[in-house]
Structure 1
């Protein structure tokens, strides 16, 4: 197997790329300059690409030893509406927008992987499709790219993705078979009552009072109607209603998310939640409108593809670098849309350094040691080369 170690010259170039991306973050589906910058790097490397949608890009590295497997790698390129507070000399110049989830790192890692695989293309058969995906922080972005054909022509056989992870030691790689992230659906519940004077509540229908029963019922649904070994989270994150302290509120709006690891459970709880809310509100004399938006599915890792990453990590860095994650995250990632179509694996790249404070994802002080970029590139590159070699035998 070829030497996939990142050279010092390439690493220095990649650090400059990452810092540029970090300084100019853009929100979901508005990554125009980010996409332009990625194209400029690819053009400087004389590597061809295709635009998908307004800001998405794909790069096909075609092996010169003939036909073979077709493997995809995805990186997300969007940022978050967060005001950066890291104090870094290359902190965000776009007010109120920040790469607080490490997508600048993911994008840089995939660019480095493109560079490495392009260098090896004379030595493998098959094809690698590198997908620079917009809008991961918004719903539907991966699904849109799939509908735009990124898994076809020719058909992608397997997929890989990674995420920086502040919950395992720096330089380790976290892997897990089966579910590794949850599905994430969004809902809005509008409770309609009848306004009136607070001195005469019997002449009104109090939407606020009804909403408290709805919240309790949703908690009951999670705790008492769901198998506890298949976790479900129903979270109300926003609630509004009422106009004055002495007026009975005639309307309350609640917004939240439903998260699950099991597809059948997700469907069942969704249906039960809608039924429960409508029946409960009606029992108190009100009416309920439940607007439910299916989000991205859970990321379910394929055992065979995950095993290749495990073997790659041990070959590159030894057994001690491999962390077998004991439990999934109830956070979400729309990579689940890819994993639902083709065998895939999504692994964690540890950034937690000993005796140093490590901020979580989506925190205004989130940052990472850039040496992790080379590790991500090496794991991607060798994993892909190993799979192409295996499929070519």
Structure 2
């Protein structure tokens, strides 16, 4: 099979699908019409599928021969963001625009879904060359992590255990036509926090009679900045940022409360994520007490896993995709400090998360993700389709054995590792039957 030629042939369909999804974006947990359209497309290809309530869509392609009995999972996400899209990108008018006010595909998920549909079309039409099983995994609510728990619960209940997982992210930090296939850390883990400091307000003329939550926050913020140098190993990356800060109404009144929220990003959960988490609580509460304040935690996300490519799978991907598309396509960009729910799939089953470059100044597609100017270079879709099909087919026929590197516990154990309470875990399994 000449996979790249088939990807070129299916490209008009992929572009059509991407433009449809881009024009009709839906926010996380609201992707009902998106899921419906994906199902319609799969049905039109003759592919049976199941809608996972609150999770997404799972479809299974059974090859005409079992081959070596292996299974490959191909994943795409499909939610959009609450961003007001501009009519132009960085160079001029867009090829298509969102038709939903205040909502746009500002991260590339429209392209991810379209590419997986294109890959599904090729694979379905060539089942005689599929020597095993391929799972198509369309995930809702990636942006807030709301879809992956139900999808994993579904996989658990159905006994679906792939030998490897493949995902791809269109990436503005890499030039168009290049595919980043890194060993190890590719996208970061995240620890999120939203905290309210409760102080004692007062008049600005007598700060000595108040316990200012603003003064308390300044000390906390400085301690967060210092943590990277004094509390965490210098041999592992850590970024910390505060993106929300709310306090006060007028300049001459010290407020009672202040709320701040932000994230920490890292690659090593054990050496960086958990130590930073533990320090965070000790530091926040200790400084608050010193300033005569108390704190309440509005939301805390336990440190997640990083997107980490299995070295053997990544090397295999570079080899087979380089043979199909040319070695000049393969790139080694810096790891991306954003986070991705694909990390949970990789924690269960070794695999590869590729970064497909879309940065093309002539087309104006270099704006950062989650930005109102963000746009996609549609010419790279055929590379993404070909990459997914190539990895899947070659892995089924190849000799890569991931059995020793798969998660040894249950899916429930994985949720527990992430700090999810038992009753919440039960709710994931309940939700898929609603």
TM-score band w.r.t. shorter chain: over 0.9
Is residue 183–residue 296 contact of structure 1 (8 Å, CA) maintained in 2? Answer: yes
For residues 92-241 of structure 1, the aligned pairs below 5 Å read: 92-149=98-155, 152-241=158-247
Asked if residue 62 in structure 1 is aligned to residue 65 in structure 2, the reply is no
Asked if residue 335 in structure 1 is aligned to residue 346 in structure 2, the reply is no
Alpha carbons of structure 1 residues 388 and 2: separation in structure 2 relative to 1, 3 Å: farther
Residue of 332, 337, 357 corresponding to 1:324: 332
For residues 205-354 of structure 1, the aligned pairs below 5 Å read: 205-264=211-270, 265-290=272-297, 291-294=299-302, 296-325=304-333, 327-353=334-360
Give 5+ residue unaligned stretches, structure 1.
none
Alpha carbons of structure 1 residues 119 and 356: separation in structure 2 relative to 1, 3 Å: closer
Q: Flag as ranges the 4+ runs of structure 1 deviating above 6 A.
A: none
SS in 1 for 2:131: coil
Asked if residue 377 in structure 1 is aligned to residue 385 in structure 2, the reply is yes
**Separation in 1, partners of 2:111, 2:398:** 29
**Separation in 2, partners of 1:69, 1:130:** 15
Q: 1:145: how far off?
A: 1.4
Q: 1:235: how far off?
A: 1.2
What is the aligned partner in structure 1 of residue 409 from structure 2? none
Cα deviation code 1:264-288 (max 9, x no counterpart)? 1101100111101101110122212
Is residue 35–residue 55 contact of structure 1 (8 Å, CA) maintained in 2? Answer: no
Give 5+ residue unaligned stretches, structure 2.
402-434
Cα deviation code 1:73-116 (max 9, x no counterpart)? 11001111111113435311111111111111110110011111
What is the aligned partner in structure 2 of residue 42 from structure 1? 42
149-158 vs 376-385, which deviates more?
149-158
CA RMSD of the aligned region, Å? Answer: 2.0
Alpha carbons of structure 1 residues 193 and 171: separation in structure 2 relative to 1, 3 Å: same
Q: 1:382: how far off?
A: 1.0
Is residue 54–residue 147 contact of structure 2 (8 Å, CA) maintained in 1? Answer: no
Q: 1:249: how far off?
A: 2.0
Q: 1:164: how far off?
A: 0.7
SS in 1 for 2:219: helix
7-16 vs 37-46, which deviates more?
7-16
**Separation in 1, partners of 2:335, 2:237:** 10
**Separation in 2, partners of 1:9, 1:248:** 65
**Separation in 2, partners of 1:245, 1:12:** 58
SS in 2 for 1:235: strand
**Separation in 2, partners of 1:245, 1:362:** 33
